[in-house]
Amino acid sequence: MRIAFFAALVAFVVQSSLAQTTKPLDGRPWNVSTGNLSVVFIQASPVGAHPRDGVIEPPPSLESQVAWREKGLVANEDYIAWGAVERTPGKWEWAQHDAVEKNQHAAGLKYVVYDWAHFPPVWLREQRKSERTLMKCLEHGQETNYLSIFDPRTIAWYDHFYKAVHGHFGDKVDDMYACILGPYGEGNYPLNVPDWINIGHCHEGYWCADEYAIRALRASMTKKYGEVGKLNEAWGTKYATFADVRPPEEVTGTDKYKITPGMFPTAQDKRRWLDFITWYHQALIDFAGQSVETLLKYYPPERVRLKPGGTAHGINPIAWGTFSPGYAKMAAKYPRIVLQPADCLGAVFGDKWLGTAYAYYGVRLGTEPAGSLDKKTYVRRMFSDASCGASQHFTYEFDQHVEEIRKYIHLYTGKPGETEVALFCPTTYYRLGGDLGPTIRAANKLRDLCEFDVLDELLIEDGALTPAKYKVLVVTQAEIVDRLILEKLDAYVRAGGKVVLVKKQAVAEVEGREWVMARELTTVANLEELKGLVGGLNGVDGKFDGLWTCRRGGQTMVFNTTDKAVAAEVNGKQVTVEPASIWESR
């Protein structure tokens, strides 16, 4: 009875504090935004999936936008597609977007442009073929309707479009995204999303068969190896010159593009594939950097944003090209721009994989989920975002989640939770097509025990793993790891860091040699056993009780992942955390 009374009291207190938050919320500090407008206009345009004449998409009612602004919204983003506004060369038609811009500003919202420059207008795609290159798949040697990131003229076309947007709107554009390549202009290679644009031949796969792509691959390998003999030695090939280098036959001329580690039996096969996939991922990141740099010609960095793609709630298939830590490293060169990865719904491995990288490289993190999140998942998303150091918030479902946003948006401080525990991301193994499912599932369980960072091999290569910062590195999968990374792990252990293997496992470098250190490392059979090794470290709450704890500075946040109220001792006090809610210290 006392418990029921206490729960009722807690419910009363929660309601009272909610009642106090019904005053207008200024969402500006967190850039609470939604989208997307003008997509029907794009769909009906000449480049659209269903071209129809004379279709205009009216802006939303002014009343609805004012109401949203009063609830804390900052922007309802507008999609501008190049092929929809320059239907005839040099003749720009802005009526659709002028109306949206006026509507948003009249409502007191920002006018934010999310743009699609990557699908060329029909006149460029069909009539002026000599002036453009389209992405071409290795599987069938066929073009899709996406412009090739490998042809330097593509960035010049993006410039042509950015310049026109700036020329027309100037400072009326409050924020603008730099376009990359994916189906939504994000940091993915072409994927088959045919709903909005006529994308032509398209599928998941490897899009580097155009002549510029092949040339770029050869140039990159020339730079890496210097002499073709060295490349042949590393790859087990017999190329006479670098001009003969071809993309891997495993994904050329075949529909079987799904990569698994078993497809590369020898060390040379592995190295050949790793060189390719690392180049392929970096090519897209480098292009994103060029797009940012081009947009910075027209708008200052605090107005420039980028969507580097998502995590598919774990980690994206390698063919997609969404190497999140690489985007963070690239963006470090452009302070003050904001990166907004997708799929953020509190999937802790993915969130921490990118969150740790953003924090390490000093990049501002805004987050975006897909739609259809229930209330519990939304709160989990907000907790995870906050603990990853997010400072901005995007949702496609603003109206459905106003209550959660108002209640928790102040937790987006830009500061990640503090922890001395890191989880290893086996990037080499991932690049070889390894299934990271075991690590992703372990991360979910580990989050109940402690806050942790996820260290991608890129971060380890760049020096993120030190005993001063991390007392324990938890390794769940490490079948194959690049030697350079293993040397960093050796140095970490010698300097006093502790690497803990979950389950005994042999670790080998790409060239096949065993990692001897693995034999001497502490091994635990499961995460229950790990508990005893990390107790007392910063970031560890130490209990598998369904409560996730995050501490930063003097602040403590606790999220209840269960469906029941959970009582716990936090900072020496007895507290009860309601289901699907966040308790925070005052």
In the bound state with Zn ion, the residue whose beta carbon lies nearer, of 131 and 255, is 255
Cα four-point dihedral sign 499, 451, 454, 442? positive
Residue 87 touching Zn ion (CB under 5 A): no
- Toward Zn ion, which CB reaches closer, 247 or 417? 247
- Whether residue 36 has a cis bond before it, omega within 30° of 0: yes
Per rule CB under 5 A, is residue 137 in the interface with Zn ion? yes
Of 207 and 334, CB closest to Zn ion: 207
CB-nearer residue toward Zn ion: 140 or 246: 140
- Quote the Cα angle for 290-294-299, to 5°: 135
Q: Which is nearer to Zn ion, 141 or 226 (CB)?
A: 141
Shortest CB 140 distance to Zn ion, Å: 4
| Strand (E) or helix (H) holding 288 | helix 267-295
CB of 528 to Zn ion, least distance (A): 47
Per the CB < 8 A criterion, the answer to whether 530 and 502 are in contact is yes
Task: Using the rule CB under 5 A, give the single segment among 142-150, 188-196, 385-393, 492-500 that binds Zn ion.
Answer: 142-150
Per CB under 5 A, contacts with Zn ion among 377-416 are none
**Min CB(249)–Zn ion separation in Å:** 16
Nearer to Zn ion, 117 or 137 (CB): 137
- Segment interacting with Zn ion (CB under 5 A) among 139-147, 177-185, 304-312, 420-428: 139-147
CB of 251 to Zn ion, least distance (A): 11
Residue 142 as a binder of Zn ion (CB under 5 A): the answer is yes
Give 463's strand partners: none
Min CB(213)–Zn ion separation in Å: 14
Alpha-carbon distance 243 to 413, whole Å? 51
Handedness of CA 279, 284, 289, 293 (dihedral sign): positive
Distances (CA, A) of 360 to 292, 496, 550: 20, 21, 18
CB-wise, 140 or 376, nearer to Zn ion? Answer: 140
Closest separation between CB of residue 257 and Zn ion, Å? 9
State in angstroms the smallest separation of the CB of 118 from Zn ion: 17
Residue number, nearest CB to Zn ion:
137
Question: How far apart are the C-alpha atoms of 247 and 484, rounded to whole Å?
Answer: 24
Decide if residue 218 touches Zn ion (CB under 5 A).
Answer: no
Nearest distance, CB of residue 188 and Zn ion, angstroms: 16
By rule CB under 5 A, what count of residues binds Zn ion? 4
Q: What is the nearest approach in angstroms of Zn ion to the Cβ of residue 433? A: 19
Stretch that binds Zn ion, among 132-140, 249-257, 277-285, 466-474 (CB under 5 A): 132-140
- Residue (201 or 469) nearer to Zn ion, CB: 201
The DSSP 8-state label assigned to residue 31 in this structure reads T
Who contacts 170 (Cβ-Cβ below 8 Å, separation ≥6)?
none
From 46-54, 124-132, 140-148, 233-241, give the range in contact with Zn ion by CB under 5 A: 140-148
Pick the stretch among 110-118, 136-144, 428-436, 500-508 that binds Zn ion (CB under 5 A).
136-144
Distance CA 585, CA 58 (A): 46
Interacting residues of 522 by C-beta distance below 8 A, sequence separation 6+? 498, 499, 500, 501, 533
**Secondary structure of residue 21 in the 3-state scheme:** helix
Question: 350, 343 in Cβ contact below 8 A?
Answer: yes
Task: Give the distance from CA 320 to its chain's centroid.
Answer: 12
Q: Pick the piece of the chain touching Zn ion (CB under 5 A) from 120-128, 134-142, 376-384, 463-471.
A: 134-142
Nearer to Zn ion, 107 or 137 (CB): 137
Contact status: 140 vs Zn ion (CB under 5 A): yes
Cα separation, 205 vs 28, in Å, equals: 40
Beta carbon of residue 203, minimum distance to Zn ion (angstroms, whole number) = 6
The nearest distance, CB 137 to Zn ion, in angstroms, is 3
Residue 153 as a binder of Zn ion (CB under 5 A): the answer is: no
The nearer residue to Zn ion, 198 or 419, going by C-beta atoms, is 198
Binding segment for Zn ion among 104-112, 131-139, 153-161, 236-244 (CB under 5 A)? 131-139
Region binding Zn ion by CB under 5 A among candidate stretches 81-89, 137-145, 273-281, 539-547: 137-145
CB-based burial label for 504 (10 Å; 0-12, 13-18, 19+): exposed
With tokens 């070889």, the residue in question is 432
- Closest to Zn ion by CB, 145 or 439: 145
Beta-bridge partner residues of 570: 573
CB of 145: closest distance to Zn ion in angstroms? 12
Name the amino acid, one letter, at 476.
T
**In contact, 517 and 485? CB cutoff 8 Å:** no
User: Rg for the chain (alpha carbons), in Å?
Assistant: 25
Shortest gap between Cβ of 204 and Zn ion (angstroms)? Answer: 10
CB of 190 to Zn ion, least distance (A): 9
d(CA 314, CA 477): 15
Q: How many distinct helices (H) and strands (E) make up the chain?
A: 20, 22
Task: Report the C-alpha dihedral over residues 275, 281, 286, 289, rounded to 10 degrees.
Answer: -160
Q: Does 139 bind Zn ion (CB under 5 A)?
A: yes
Smaller CB separation from Zn ion, 139 or 250: 139
Instruction: State the DSSP code for 61.
Output: P
Contact region with Zn ion (CB under 5 A), list: 129-137, 249-257, 495-503, 507-515: 129-137
Residue 72 and residue 406 in contact, taking contact as beta carbons nearer than 8 Å: yes
E runs forming strands in 362-516: 364-367, 392-393, 421-425, 453-456, 472-475, 480-481, 498-502, 508-509
Please tell me the distance from the alpha carbon of residue 82 to that of residue 94, in angstroms, as a whole number.
11
The nearest distance, CB 465 to Zn ion, in angstroms, is 40
Q: Which of residues 477-506 bind Zn ion (CB under 5 A)?
A: none
Told to check if 252 binds Zn ion by CB under 5 A, we report no
Of 142 and 252, CB closest to Zn ion? 142
Residue 576, interface with Zn ion (CB under 5 A)? no
Residue type at 449 in one-letter notation = L
Chain residues that interact with Zn ion, rule: CB under 5 A: 137, 139-140, 142
